[in-house]
């Protein structure tokens, strides 16, 4: 019965907004097809904050969050470059690198990434720790036609996936805002306290489309 419920949730692409509180997406195998497409509530993105939690044992490159536009496949990308042990935020195919992180396998990691078009500054928060602000691109707002994908890295707008860049593991608590979240709110998110939910993507009221073998399960927590 439990599997049937999961299957019904996966195939129901027109179910509207779902409350995924206490749930997670499980990507159980390496493929160039399986993914979740997230439908944003807003597309006016003069600034961005993206927060998510992920759990994996991958020892290769993989995508953590992929937003592509019709003109830039890495319009806003959070990517783990395993060979050099870097988490790399990309904005319009430009990137900065964050090294020296304890990106341990088989452990939940909480990551928030911010960017403001007016200043061009990016900042990464990793497991509650704010990292250096870096300049990446002082430019116009992001696309008004975003394609947002979990589980794959887009090399075109909505496609051209590569299995060796896919995410295998679990992902939960995905939120996105169209402004830079305050340090206090980010700390609340990291500690899983009450925080202002995303107004672009809200895990507690999420619209999405599933492709391939991606399960919706109860989030695994310690007793």
Interval 78-105 mean pLDDT: 93
Instruction: Give per-residue pLDDT as tens, 22-49.
Output: 999 999 999 999 999 999 998 889 999 9
Q: Computed from CA positions of residues 193, 194, 195, 199, in that sequence, does the dihedral angle turn out positive or negative? A: positive
DSSP 126-154: ETTEEEEEEE----PPPPSS-EEEESS--
Model pLDDT, residue 95: 93
State percent of the chain over pLDDT 70. 92
Q: How is residue 171 written in tokens? A: 């992902």
Q: How far apart are CA 33 and CA 68, in angstroms?
A: 16
**Residue predicted with more confidence, 5 or 187:** 187
Percent of the chain with pLDDT over 90: 76
| Res. 215: pLDDT tops 60 | yes
Exposed / middle / buried, residue 116 (Cβ in 10 Å: 0-12, 13-18, 19+): middle
What's the average model confidence in pLDDT over 72-77? 92
């Amino acid at each position: 019965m439990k599997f049937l419920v999961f299957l019904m949730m996966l195939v129901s692409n027109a179910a509207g907004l779902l409350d995924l509180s206490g749930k997670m997406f499980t990507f159980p195998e390496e493929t160039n097809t399986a993914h979740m497409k997230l439908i944003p509530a807003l597309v006016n993105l003069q600034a961005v904050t993206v927060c998510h939690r992920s759990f994996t044992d991958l020892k290769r490159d993989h995508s953590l969050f992929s937003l592509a536009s019709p003109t830039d496949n890495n319009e806003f990308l959070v990517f783990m470059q395993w060979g050099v042990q870097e988490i790399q935020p990309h904005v319009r195919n430009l990137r900065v690198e964050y090294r020296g992180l304890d990106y341990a396998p088989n452990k939940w990691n909480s990551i928030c990434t911010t960017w403001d078009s007016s200043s061009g500054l990016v900042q990464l928060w990793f497991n509650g720790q704010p990292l250096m602000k870096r300049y990446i691109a002082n430019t116009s707002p992001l696309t008004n036609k975003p394609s947002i994908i979990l589980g794959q890295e887009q090399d075109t707008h909505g496609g051209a996936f590569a299995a060796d860049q896919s995410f295998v593991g679990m992902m939960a608590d995905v939120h996105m805002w169209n402004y830079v979240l305050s340090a206090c709110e980010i700390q609340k998110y990291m500690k899983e306290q009450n925080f202002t939910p995303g107004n672009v993507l809200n895990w507690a009221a999420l619209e999405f489309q599933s492709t391939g073998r991606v399960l919706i399960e109860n989030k695994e927590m310690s007793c």
